[in-house]
Amino acid sequence: MAENNATLTVDGKDYQLPITEGTLGPSVIDVAAFQKAGYWTYDPGFMVTAPVESKITFIDGGKGELLYRGYPIDQLANNAEYLEVAYALIHGELPNAEQKTEFYKKIHSHTAVHDQLRKFFEGFRRDAHPMAIMVGVVGALSAFYHEGFDVNDVRHREITAIRLIAKMPTLAAMSYKYSQGEPFMYPRNDFTYAENFVYMMFATPADVNFQVNPIIAKALDKIFTLHADHEQNASTSTVRLAGSTGANPYACIAAGIAALWGPSHGGANEAVLEMLDEIGTVENVPAFMEKVKSREVKLMGFGHRVYKNFDPRAQVLKETCDEVLHALGINDPKLELAMALEKIALEDPFFIERNLYPNVDFYSGIILKAIGIPTSMFTVIFSLARTSGWISHWLEMHSEPFKIGRPRQLYTGETQRDFVEIEDRK
């Protein structure tokens, strides 16, 4: 990578800061020299901070481009299976036929969970949010895979990736079944990854002839791909930061699930449906938009830290939405409401001036609802899909020497002062 320098002049002294170019996107300025000058950088929300170098995913927010290992997201979503994409995120290339067979075989042989893990679910109330359950049970996996785990052994790291990708659908479906008071369904290895998830979610032991709807399975597999990775987003950065301490990887993924749950991040898909329910009809849109402009509420599913153009995933999901609802013969007024909302927002100066476009969460909820997934499970499905991205970043971090993440701060608190006895305090 080509290098040249930026010059920082502070307190009358010049410091040369190396500039490093990537293969795509902005170059970076190495600010380590700030320490010599006695300064730290200040960048709340990491708006312009690159804490890592990565080869996994590239986003061009201005153009609305998203590449996984160089492959455009729309090509992957429309042509590859999710497990092929997961393989590419981990290994850097789409698998050839032999690699694909081997990887699928490994995943299928790790879809079951330790039977004792079932007891963790019983501690939750039946109405517990499935994301709360997922944080708990995925974190609990660390108890089953800790003794003898050597994070410095690449084989241990690789089997961890297989186990997590394989078990997330099983745990996700269990969190749903638990909330329904229905028995857990064991995974079936004669199904594809997405078919298996549909089966574990909606089949019951009594329904021995349960048929997986191929339209639903295909739509879910595409949704998994669209949510698989997204560079250094909040939850991926959480996984990397937790991983930088050498923590158990299952615990790191649980931390990523916790971060994803927030409505500003992966929780937005659930919030979009709640917002559409609140608006109700197209006639109520203008009044709702006034609440958005007065900053009373956010237009959920709109806006993005990086995309200042269309989120390419939203584009694919919008097409998929039309296809799935048509194929299933569903006429969902929420889709019409969402399309009306999108049209109004895209023509409104408030949103145009702020580069606010639909993001991945704007349409995903409508499709998930159409294929029978309850709203509370939307972010669980996001976490299932994003596990391949999280674990790819964790593997990438461990593939070479790294430092523990330890940001500093701008301190604006009290200067030093002496202790005050209780009787002398005001």
Q: How far apart are CA 327 and CA 393, in angstroms?
A: 36
CB 388, min distance to ligand SDX, A: 13
CB 273, min distance to ligand SDX, A: 12
Q: In this complex, which beta carbon is closest to ligand SDX, that of residue 173 or of residue 275?
A: 275
Asked whether 69 and 60 are in contact (CB, 8 A), the reply is no
Residue closest to ligand SDX (Cβ)? 303
The residues that bridge with 13 in the sheet, in sequence order, are: 10
Q: In this complex, which beta carbon is closest to ligand SDX, that of residue 193 or of residue 302?
A: 302
Q: Is 381 left (phi over 0), alpha (psi -120 to 50) or beta?
A: alpha
| Residue 343: alpha-carbon gap to chain centroid | 26
Binding mask 13-52 for ligand SDX (x = CB under 6 A): --------------------------------x-------
Q: How far apart are CA 207 and CA 210, in angstroms?
A: 5
The one-letter code for the residue type at 55 is K
Q: In this complex, which beta carbon is closest to ligand SDX, that of residue 212 or of residue 272?
A: 272
CB 134, min distance to ligand SDX, A: 16
CA-wise closest residue to 255 among 381, 167, 397, 135: 135
Neighbouring residues of 38: CB distance < 8 A, sequence distance ≥ 6: none
Q: How far apart are CA 175 and CA 380, in angstroms?
A: 9
Show the CA angle centred on residue 284, arms to residues 282 and 286, nearest 5°: 95
CB 224, min distance to ligand SDX, A: 13
Site for ligand SDX in 360-399 (CB under 6 A): 360-361
Query: Does 131 engage in binding with ligand SDX (CB under 6 A)?
Result: no
Neighbouring residues of 223: CB distance < 8 A, sequence distance ≥ 6: 317, 320, 364, 367, 368, 381, 385
Q: In this complex, which beta carbon is closest to ligand SDX, that of residue 349 or of residue 401?
A: 349
Q: What is the DSSP string of 326-365?
A: HHTT---HHHHHHHHHHHHHHH-HHHHHTT--B-HHHHHH
Site for ligand SDX in 293-312 (CB under 6 A): 295, 298-306
Query: Does 354 engage in binding with ligand SDX (CB under 6 A)?
Result: yes
Query: Does 233 engage in binding with ligand SDX (CB under 6 A)?
Result: yes
Q: In this complex, which beta carbon is closest to ligand SDX, that of residue 234 or of residue 282?
A: 234
Residue 332 appears among annotated catalytic residues: no
CB 11, min distance to ligand SDX, A: 32
Stretch that binds ligand SDX, among 16-24, 209-217, 258-266, 370-378 (CB under 6 A): 258-266
CB 264, min distance to ligand SDX, A: 4
User: What sign does the CA torsion over 82, 83, 84, 89 have?
Assistant: positive
Residue 304 appears among annotated catalytic residues: yes
Catalytic residue among 304, 322, 398, 424: 304
User: What sign does the CA torsion over 304, 308, 311, 315 have?
Assistant: positive
Q: How far apart are CA 44 and CA 391, in angstroms?
A: 26
Catalytic residue among 361, 398, 418, 424: 361
Stretch that binds ligand SDX, among 19-27, 144-152, 352-360, 406-414 (CB under 6 A): 352-360
- Name which position in 75, 180, 264, 399 contacts ligand SDX (CB under 6 A): 264
Q: Is 11 left (phi over 0), alpha (psi -120 to 50) or beta?
A: left
Query: Does 56 engage in binding with ligand SDX (CB under 6 A)?
Result: no
CB 295, min distance to ligand SDX, A: 6
Query: Does 204 engage in binding with ligand SDX (CB under 6 A)?
Result: no
Residues taking part in catalysis: 304, 361
Residues at the site binding ligand SDX, with contacts judged by CB under 6 A: 45, 230, 233-234, 264-266, 268, 292, 295, 298-306, 354, 356, 359-361
